[in-house]
Structure formats: structure tokens, C-alpha cells
Amino acid sequence: MGKTIFITGVDTDIGKTFVSLGLALSLKSKGYSVGYFKPFQSGAYEKNGKLIAPDPDEFIKYESEIKTKYSYLFKGEVSPHLASLIDNVEVDIIKVQNDLKEFSSQFNYTIIEGAGGLYCPAIKNNLFSDIIKKLNQEIIIVTTPALGRLNHTLMTIECAKLNNIKIKGLIINKMPDNATLSESNFVKELKLFSDIKILGIIPEIKNPEKESIINAFSGICL
């Protein structure tokens, strides 16, 4: 089995899929085989009579050779737990564990992406923090320098520590060129209150293309 890393975030719409894509493209450009695994995918939509998983579909747009897989696909654009109730699907964590084991055995690296944050409801009686522990994963936390995110980031770090989840590091996403005072001091303040390693600072990319994404993530070592 190759290496695995679980991507979580301090909030929803923080850029977890973009960071997962960036890491995957960067690793592939360095000669590694890479897979992308989404245990629970909500917000599926129909296209040409076929149900599409939106996050794996992002990978196809940029690199068709990166294989993707999900264990469960739901239509509701809500938490996986609520989406599974809406679709009346009984989720089996053993299936997820077996899917990950089989899928990740094919690659040097497998990027696993969660949904929401650590305390987002995943399945019945399980938050994503529980899923991460059951999959025995180390996490990368994705955040942004937006106002209020320092609070969210520090709480996510403490949440991981309280749940005995190992943190590989932080990736700061969407750093603007013309940063506000709060945004420009985000990294400095974060370092004052946390000793978690910052793996990379990703600039805000208005019209991302494959090469610009690879360049942005090239300096991050997993």
C-alpha cells in the first residue's frame, strides 16, 4: 500500500477539492502514481442521463489519468449523513475501509478528501473525526487567511488534538495578491498560537490552469 493523506478543512467551501487536486497534480508531475478517494460524495447531479460526482469530476477536467473513486454517492447538497438519510441509504464503514485499502494499493499516493470539517456529520453516530480515526489517517488541514479563519483554524487544530488525530500540517489556500491587514498578518498570528507546520501558502488563482496549479503546489512535500 502506498502513502495516504486525508484532506480536511476548517469550514465548508474552503478549497479542499482544489488543494486535493493541486497535491495530486504536483505529485504526478514528479513521477508518482496518484489516486483520489472520496469516501462520501454529496451533491451529485445528472449529466447526459448519468449521475456525476462533482469533486472527482474536477480531476477529470485537469488530468484524466488520475484515477478517482468514491464509496457512496448522494444527491443532496448537504452533509453526507443527512444526504444518506434523504436517499435512504444505509452506510457501511467496513465498505469504506475496504474500498480505501484496495484503491490505495494501486498508487504511490492516495489523496482522501472529507466533507466540511472535523465535526461535520459523516454517517450515523459518526462525525468526520470518527471516520478519520477508523481509517487510521493523518490529516492536512486546509484554511484561508480570511477574517475569522484564525479562530476556525485554531479550533480545528485543538479538535484534532483532543481526538488524537495526527496533523501533518496546514495548507493556507487563497492568499490574495492585495491582502488586507488581517490577511497579511494571518501566518504571523497563526505561528504565535500554534506550532503546527505550515506546508504551503497557495496564492489565489483567478483562472486556474493545470500548469499554474502545479507551480503553486510544487514546493509542498508530503
Does residue 38 carry a catalytic annotation?
yes
Let me know how long the chain is.
222
Give residue 118's Cα distance to chain centre.
Answer: 11
Copy the grid coordinates of residue 208: 486556474
Amino acid at 25: L
* Candidates 28, 38, 69, 174; catalytic one: 38
Is-contact 89 59, C-beta < 8 A? no
Is-contact 213 204, C-beta < 8 A? no
Positions marked catalytic: 38
